[in-house]
């Protein structure tokens, strides 16, 4: 499954494409639920777009997630299903800015010692610069 989300003036979109194998004659139904389990949008077909009015966007430090359930159906019977957590948001690079939902985002905490290919989780004091502004 491929999911693509978008935002436009308080309305969210969740585009989806579902690739099924060995499922000839079976259909696809998708159901989007909020964190309280309330159904906010549904659609049928292997490809489509769900629209969510008054969406609660995913934001850094406010990672609101919807539950996207994909059901493989034979008529009204659900043959198989799986769930995918989905945050509705946009990501864009404009010039030197990285934007989430149209707002600048500043990365912190990357390039840490945990990411070092040879030392891994070890924290060698000479490589850590405390209180430095450079």
Per-residue pLDDT reduced to its tens digit, 7-65: 998 899 999 999 988 778 899 999 999 999 999 999 999 999 999 999 999 999 999 99
Mean pLDDT for 76-101 is: 95
104/20: higher pLDDT: 104
* C-alpha–C-alpha distance, residues 6 and 23, integer Å: 30
Looking at the structure, do residues 81 and 122 belong to the same domain, yes or no? no
* C-alpha–C-alpha distance, residues 35 and 85, integer Å: 10
* C-alpha–C-alpha distance, residues 43 and 48, integer Å: 7
Looking at the structure, do residues 46 and 79 belong to the same domain, yes or no? yes
DSSP secondary structure string, 47-79?
Answer: EEEEEETT----BTTB---EEEEEEEEETTEEE
HSE, side-chain direction, 13 A CA sphere, residue 83: 9
Looking at the structure, do residues 69 and 100 belong to the same domain, yes or no? no
Confirm if 71 and 36 have CB atoms less than 8 A apart: no
Q: Exposed, middle or buried: residue 72 (CB in 10 Å: 0-12, 13-18, 19+)?
A: middle
Mean pLDDT for 83-105 is: 95
The pLDDT of residue 24 is 81
Looking at the structure, do residues 40 and 84 belong to the same domain, yes or no? yes
Question: Is residue 133 assigned to a domain?
Answer: no
Instruction: Give the residue numbers spanning the domain of 16.
Output: 2-89
The pLDDT of residue 87 is 97
Task: Please count the structural domains in the chain.
Answer: 2
The pLDDT of residue 132 is 47
The model's pLDDT over 64-88, given as tens digits with 9 standing for 90+, comes to: 999 999 999 999 999 999 999 999 9
Pairing of strands 2-8, 11-17: antiparallel
Specify the DSSP class assigned to residue 21: S
The answer on pLDDT for 110 being more than 80 is no
| Helix, strand, or coil (residue 133) | coil
How much is the pTM? 0.77
63/120: higher pLDDT: 63
Looking at the structure, do residues 60 and 117 belong to the same domain, yes or no? no
């Amino acid at each position: 499954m491929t999911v693509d989300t978008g935002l436009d003036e308080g309305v969210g979109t969740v585009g989806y494409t579902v690739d099924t194998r060995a499922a000839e004659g079976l259909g696809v139904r998708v159901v989007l639920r909020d964190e309280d389990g309330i159904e906010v949008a549904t659609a049928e077909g292997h490809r489509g777009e769900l629209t969510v009015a008054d969406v609660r966007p995913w934001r850094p430090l406010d990672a609101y997630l919807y539950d996207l359930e994909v059901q493989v159906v034979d008529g009204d019977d659900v043959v198989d299903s799986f769930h995918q957590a989905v945050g509705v948001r946009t990501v864009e690079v404009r010039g030197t800015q990285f934007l989430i939902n149209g707002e600048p985002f500043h990365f912190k905490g990357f390039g840490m010692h945990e990411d070092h290919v040879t030392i891994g989780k070890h924290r060698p004091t000479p490589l850590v610069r405390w209180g430095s502004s450079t």
